[in-house]
Amino acid sequence: MRSSSNRVLIISGHHFADAPRRVDLHFIADQLRAEGAAVDFLICRLSPLSRFIRDGRYKHARTRPINSWSRLDEGLEEFVWFAPFHPINLRLGWMNDIVAPLYRRYGHFLPKAVIDRLPGYSHVVVESGPSPLLTRYLRRHAPNAKFIYHAADRLETIRVHPCVIEELNRTLPLYDQLRIMAEAMRTDFACQDKVVFVPHGISKDIFDNAVTTPFQGERHAISVGDMMFDGSLIETLAVANPDWTFHLFGKKALPLQPRGNIVVHGEVSFATIVPFIKFADIGIAPYRPGAGADYLSQSSLKMIQYSYCHLPIVAPRFAAAGRDNVCAYEPDDPVSMRAAFERAKVMDHCAIDTSGILTWGEVVDRLFHSPEV
């Protein structure tokens, strides 16, 4: 299929274009490229400040070409933008107020090599994070592109600088579409006519083709990702279930203390993780409580992947709405945590409904090829 999107720019303050840890933007890019489109990633939220704030991306960024376009594959290029500064939430109101005027000019420092390409894009995808600070500058140089705000997370939940939230609200009219992945986020936006609910897809063929289990024996639970990772849940379940093995995937997904039945895999490729998910017995989504985090019940990609593989899911109650296969617990309540895991042990895997789960092709069709966009 030939894509109606000729060249797409994806702006992310979180993910490199070829990172081992794959998120929805990577799968969307793969689908667009398979349809014949070219995809560029602009990686922001990097500056000399990154070195001093323990940003795990800094070390990786220094191994890449900086401030120039780099070809990674056929139809895939990346620009790692190392700016003079980038917006950081300083946590103190008066300090945030002082730096806000400077942060609002973040887009003023966009490199010429990026600006020169902007007129040629058919679509610009702006990911939640610091990227909304760039929208008015990008729109000025890409007047004919379709702008999509990719609301992967609530800005309050990921604790961006307050001026980013203000700028997003001011620039909502500049977007053609506001893509949410959870209905709980719909009322977050004033421009309701532009809001489109398109949940995550998954690579069904990759899961379907995984035929070899990586496990020895039975009773394996898996946790994928480290966003808002709550190690206390893993500690509680591991102690209460010594005959189960708990597999943790993610750079910061670490147990409170080493235990013989906890295996820390770190950050690995998506292809490595797939068979672990498919052949696990229980999926775990150990989210810590956070501001407005209720949207995670629908927007969590791992929970969709768990569901496609017919796994019961253990997740906090605030992230459990709308999924019949979630066994919910109350955060910070060990009794509730253990009870949720016990319910997951006896759930009928075959009864878990997967009919509403999309492919990435269906996601791209709705986002890029529908008449509204």
With H, G, I as helix, E, B as strand and everything else as coil, classify residue 227: coil
- Locate the DSSP E strands across the chain: 7-12, 38-43, 69-73, 76-80, 123-127, 146-151, 177-180, 195-197, 201-202, 220-224, 245-249, 262-266, 282-284, 313-316, 326-329, 358-359
Higher-pLDDT residue of 23, 131: 131
Say how far apart CA 61 and CA 14 lie, in whole Å.
11
Sequence-ordered list of residues with C-beta below 8 angstroms from that of 192, at least 6 positions apart, any chain: 186
pLDDT at 262: 98
- Confidence bin at 59 (pLDDT 50/70/90): confident
Backbone angles phi, psi at 105, to 5 degrees: -95, 15
In whole angstroms, give the CA distance from residue 338 to residue 341. 5
Q: pLDDT class for 372, splitting at 50, 70, 90?
A: low
The model's pTM: 0.87
Domain boundaries defined on the chain:
7-197, 204-351
Q: Provide the pLDDT for residue 292.
A: 73
| Confidence at residue 73, expressed as pLDDT on a 0 to 100 scale | 96
Within 8 A by CB and 6+ apart from 346, the residues are none
Check residue 102 and give its pLDDT. Answer: 96
Beta bridge mates, 40: 9, 77
Q: Which range (42-51, 287-296, 344-353) has the least confidence?
A: 287-296
What's residue 4's pLDDT?
Answer: 56
pLDDT score, position 5: 61
Q: List, for residues 169-203, the tens digit of each pLDDT value.
A: 999 999 999 999 988 899 999 999 999 999 999 99
2, pLDDT greater than 60: no
Helices assigned H by DSSP within the chain: 24-34, 57-61, 93-103, 112-115, 135-141, 162-171, 204-208, 231-240, 270-279, 296-299, 301-308, 334-345, 360-364
Which position has the higher pLDDT, 60 or 215?
215
**pLDDT for the residue numbered 1:** 47
Mean pLDDT score of the chain: 93
Q: Say how far residue 174 (Cα) sits from the centre of its chain.
A: 23
How many percent of the chain have pLDDT more than 90? 82
* CATH fold for domain 7-197: Rossmann fold (3.40.50)
**How far apart are the C-alpha atoms of 256 and 356, rounded to whole Å?**
36
* Size of the chain in residues: 373
Dump pLDDT digits (tens) for 223-246.
Answer: 999 989 999 999 999 999 999 999
Task: Say yes or no: do domains 7-197 and 204-351 share a fold.
Answer: yes
**Per-residue model confidence (pLDDT) at position 287:** 94
pLDDT of 114 over the 90 cut: yes
CATH pick for 204-351 out of 3.20.20.70, 3.90.1150.10, 3.40.50.1470, 3.40.50.2000: 3.40.50.2000
pLDDT for residue 293 is more than 80: no
